[in-house]
Structure 1
Amino acid sequence: MDVIAEDSRPRAAGSPFAFAPGHRVLVVGGAGGIGSAIAQAFVDAGCEVVATGVDEAALAASALKPAAHLRLATLDVTRDDDVARLVGELDGLHTLVNCAGILARFKEFEVATFQRVLDVNLTGTFRLCTACKPMLAAHGDAGGGSIVNIASMNAFAALPWIPAYCASKGGVVMLTKSLALAWAAEGIRVNAVAPGYVETPINAEGRQDAAHYERIRARIPQGRWAQPTDIAGSALFLASPAAHYMTGTVLAVDGGFLAG
């Protein structure tokens, strides 16, 4: 008869979706559209959250409301010294969410712009993962060492006018899988969320074209573009104890777009 070994790692009290007291989360790009919804969801779940924006203007424009367990901080993910500064200020970390991202419609065929998009979306994600790894590994035995990267549906379904964005998000998917393999032995889980079409400031320009907006809406089985709050729950789940046996997974949250 097969014997199933019991997983003896400590669990958060109550619901398997609940976080232990003092669970610390860094949401990189947390001042943005999807990032702010994710940061707020972690705050609402009782976590201690640091949310970043590229500069003070980005923080001032954020939808995040002041909260006792929320801190806002500036961070340029393309600068190693800035990453080292912020990470050095953290008093431990259980979950890292990489949500900083840019795109430049019709301009990504320029080499400088292409490189800039990759530096923010892909290399920036890698910078934060490696910088935060020691703190995340320190909580691995307790099931708290977790990374959630924000990829995109465009990692799987390309668009012709944002080649750098598509390439960068495809890279985020494979980076997620590679780091999941590399760091599993240290108790760090690495997963990703691939949002579909979400109404955020990053695509506000494109949504001004009513025909473009309606064409996409009609292609989505659920019949609407997503709101940032539609994405937040998946990030919360992947970081929670309920997902303790998941790593290297990419969850498509796209209203069914990729299904057909």
Structure 2
Amino acid sequence: MDDIINTFSKDLFKGKSVLVTGGSSGIGLAIAQGFARLGGDVTALGSSAKKLEAASRDPANAGIRFERVDVRDPKAIKGFVATLGKLDILVNGAGIARPTAEFEDETYTEVMDVNLNSQMRFAMAALPLLKASKGSIINIASMLSYVTDPLVPAYGASKTGVLGLTRHLAHAFGPDGIRVNAISPGYHKTDMTRGLWTDPEPAAKIEQRSALKRWGTVDDLVGTAIFLSSPAAAFVTGTDLPVDGGFVVGGF
């Protein structure tokens, strides 16, 4: 991540408060690390006590505060956000996928609740603080906002919904000086995609469709999140930036 961080001013987010949901591992954790290394006061939320404990012990996460909050619980979200004195940047990164099981009503509803509804809950809970700071929201969408995977209908629907939510909130919050954007990751090596990148056949097919002929890493998302939260993106809102190595526009 050093080459990414060195692109920006070391104190870019000094004095800024950052909240990252889904921040105990994977993409969310990498983004949290990026903000912390540029001076941000970062709080990362997660649902797994085991992951949160491991992350808090990792020296790479110095400067990040880890908290457990159930993103499906509106009262818990409101209660936690109420403890924050200020907030400049909200990254909605909580997400789950349940291949095949998403055709069952209970699982479908759970995935939608975590991936889409939680983003609205955090945005509304954080609105007064973001209005005061004229802050920024980044919603994590997905390449499956654009293409399909028949095994994860709820994941695909929820991430497509994230794009619609992003556009609507950009206009709803824009008069208060709040910018709302999305990032759509592609195939990045995370625990969620481990079954694919550790299997030579699908891993190779994914690499071949990518314009850059490789899998993404979690660090590949960090620079985009920093840019969208920085003064360099002061007139950027209501948009989505795919970070997929050209996968969506490729072909097998």
Alignment TM-score, normalising by the size of structure 1: 0.88
Q: Specify the code of the residue in structure 1 equivalent to 2:179.
A: R
The 1-side partners of 2:10 and 2:140 are apart by: 20
Q: Structure 1 residues 57, 117: closer, same or farther in 2, change over 3 A?
A: same
Distance 1:32 1:100 in 2: 10
Q: Which runs of 5+ in 2 are unaligned?
A: 1-7
For 1:46, the aligned partner's letter is G
Asked if 1 retains the 8 angstrom alpha-carbon contact of 2:196 and 2:202, the reply is yes
Question: 2:73 corresponds to which letter in structure 1?
Answer: R
Contact 2:142 2:159 in 1 (8 A): yes
Q: Which runs of 5+ in 1 are unaligned?
A: 1-14
Structure 1 segments of 4 or more deviating over 6 A?
none
In the alignment, is the contact (CA less than 8 A) between 1:179 and 1:190 conserved in 2?
yes
Identical counterparts, % of pairs: 43
The answer for the alignment partner of 1:216 in structure 2 is 206
**Further displaced range: 18-27 or 91-100:** 18-27
Deviation track 1:150-179 (CA, whole Å, cap 9, x = no partner) reads 100100011111110000000001100000
Counterparts of 1:1-260 in structure 2, within 5 Å, are 19-62=12-55, 65=59, 69-140=63-134, 145-260=135-250
State the alpha-carbon separation in 1 of the partners of residues 14 and 33 from structure 2: 17
Task: Give aligned pairs, total.
Answer: 242
Kept after mapping to 1: 8 A contact 2:46/2:69? yes
Deviation, structure 1 residue 94? 0.2
2:89 and 2:13 map into 1 onto residues whose CA distance is 12
**1:68 Cα offset (Å):** 5.6
Deviations 1:3-57 (A, max 9, x none): xxxxxxxxxxxx7896353111001111120011000000011111000111311
Distance in 2 (CA, whole Å) between partners of 1:18 and 1:249 is: 26
Larger Rg: 1
Cα deviation 1:69-115 (Å, max 9, x = unaligned): 32110111000121022102211000000000000111111111110
Structure 1 residues 166-194: Cα deviation after superposition (integer angstroms, max 9, x where no partner) = 00000001100000011100111000100
Q: Which amino acid aligns with 2:68?
A: T
How large is the RMSD of aligned CA atoms in angstroms? 1.7
The residue matched to 1:259 in structure 2 has which SS?
A: coil
Match of 1:147, SS state, is strand
Instruction: Verify the 8 A CA contact 1:54 1:76 in the aligned structure 2.
Output: yes
Q: Which has the higher contact order (CA 8 A, sep 6+)?
A: 1
CA distance in 2, matches of 1:50, 1:16: 21
SS at match of 1:27: strand
